[in-house]
Structure 1
Amino acid sequence: MGDRPGNDHGSLIKQALDNGAEPARSALAASWRRSMSLYGLDPEDGGRPQTLTEAQLHEARQAMEPMTRAAQGVLDRLFLAVGDTGCCILLTNADGVPLERRGAAADDDIFRRWGLWPGAIWSEAVEGTNGIGTALAEHRPLTIHRDQHFHTRNTALSCTSHPIHDHLGRLAGLLDVSSCRADATAGVLGLIAAAVADAARAIEAQTFRQAFSQARIVLAGDPVERNTAALLAVDRDDLVIGATRAARLALSITDERIAAQLAASEVLGAGCVETELLEAERGAVRRALARSGGNVSAAARALGISRATLHRKLHRLGLSREPH
Structure 2
Amino acid sequence: MGRLHEGLHAEHIQTALAGDAAAQSALVASWGRSMRLYGLNPEEHTPPNVLTDRELSEARERLGSLIDTASGTLDRLYTAVGGAGCCVLLADKEGVPVDRRGYAGDDTTFYKIGLWTGAVWSEESEGTNGIGTAIAEQRSLTIHRDQHFRSRNTALSCTVAPIFDHRGRLMAVIDVSSARSDLTEDFVKLIAMAVVDAARRVEAENFRLAFPKARIVMAGDNIAGDRVVNALIAVDQDDLVIGASRSARHVFGLTDESLSGPLPAANLLGQEIDPERGFASAERSVIRRALSNAGGNVSLAAGILGMSRATLHRKLKRLGLN
Report TM bin, short chain. 0.7 to 0.9
Aligned in 2, Cα 1:2/1:319: closer, same or farther, shift over 3 Å? farther
Alignment-derived partner of residue 45 in structure 1: 44
Alignment-derived partner of residue 196 in structure 1: 195
Residues 1:10 and 2:10 aligned together: yes
In the aligned structure 1, how far is the partner of 2:297 from the partner of 2:140?
A: 50
The SS at the match of 1:56 is helix
In the aligned structure 2, how far is the partner of 1:179 from the partner of 1:223?
A: 39
Please report how far the alpha carbon of residue 293 of structure 1 lies from its aligned counterpart in structure 2 after TM superposition.
Answer: 9.8
Residues 1:256 and 2:257 aligned together: yes
Q: Percent identity?
A: 51
Q: TM-score, normalised by structure 1?
A: 0.84
In the aligned structure 2, how far is the partner of 1:263 from the partner of 1:116?
A: 46
In the aligned structure 2, how far is the partner of 1:208 from the partner of 1:119?
A: 26
Alignment-derived partner of residue 91 in structure 2: 92
Contact 1:161 1:174 in 2 (8 A): yes
Aligned in 2, Cα 1:231/1:319: closer, same or farther, shift over 3 Å? farther
Aligned in 2, Cα 1:2/1:227: closer, same or farther, shift over 3 Å? farther
Alignment-derived partner of residue 243 in structure 1: 244
Alignment-derived partner of residue 128 in structure 1: 127
In the aligned structure 2, how far is the partner of 1:252 from the partner of 1:154?
A: 39
In the aligned structure 2, how far is the partner of 1:46 from the partner of 1:101?
A: 24
The SS at the match of 1:203 is helix
Aligned in 2, Cα 1:231/1:40: closer, same or farther, shift over 3 Å? same
In the aligned structure 2, how far is the partner of 1:296 from the partner of 1:73?
A: 44
Q: 2:204 is matched by which residue type in structure 1?
A: A
Contact 1:234 1:242 in 2 (8 A): yes
Please report how far the alpha carbon of residue 115 of structure 1 lies from its aligned counterpart in structure 2 after TM superposition.
Answer: 1.2
In the aligned structure 2, how far is the partner of 1:319 from the partner of 1:86?
A: 63
Alignment-derived partner of residue 78 in structure 1: 77
Q: How does 1:1-324 map to 2 (within 5 A)?
A: 1=1, 5-19=5-19, 21-222=20-221, 228-270=229-271, 294=295, 306=305
Q: 1:18 is matched by which residue type in structure 2?
A: A
Q: How many residues align?
A: 306
Please report how far the alpha carbon of residue 294 of structure 1 lies from its aligned counterpart in structure 2 after TM superposition.
Answer: 4.7
Cα root mean square deviation, aligned: 3.5
Contact 2:165 2:207 in 1 (8 A): yes
Contact 2:220 2:228 in 1 (8 A): no
Contact 1:217 1:234 in 2 (8 A): yes
In the aligned structure 1, how far is the partner of 2:77 from the partner of 2:70?
A: 11
Report Cα offsets for 1:166-190 as digits up to 9, x if no partner: 1111111211111111122221111
Give 5+ residue unaligned stretches, structure 2.
Answer: none
Contact 1:92 1:98 in 2 (8 A): yes
In the aligned structure 1, how far is the partner of 2:306 from the partner of 2:178?
A: 59
Aligned in 2, Cα 1:319/1:308: closer, same or farther, shift over 3 Å? farther
Contact 2:129 2:158 in 1 (8 A): yes
Q: 2:38 is matched by which residue type in structure 1?
A: Y
Contact 2:228 2:247 in 1 (8 A): no
The SS at the match of 2:220 is coil
Contact 2:88 2:174 in 1 (8 A): yes
Please report how far the alpha carbon of residue 84 of structure 1 lies from its aligned counterpart in structure 2 after TM superposition.
Answer: 0.7
Q: 2:236 is matched by which residue type in structure 1?
A: D
In the aligned structure 2, how far is the partner of 1:204 from the partner of 1:248?
A: 14
Q: 1:15 is matched by which residue type in structure 2?
A: T
Report Cα offsets for 1:78-107 as digits up to 9, x if no partner: 111111111111111111111111111211
In the aligned structure 1, how far is the partner of 2:138 from the partner of 2:119?
A: 20
In the aligned structure 2, how far is the partner of 1:2 from the partner of 1:247?
A: 49
Please report how far the alpha carbon of residue 5 of structure 1 lies from its aligned counterpart in structure 2 after TM superposition.
Answer: 2.1
In the aligned structure 2, how far is the partner of 1:234 from the partner of 1:167?
A: 13
Aligned in 2, Cα 1:60/1:320: closer, same or farther, shift over 3 Å? farther
Contact 1:157 1:179 in 2 (8 A): yes
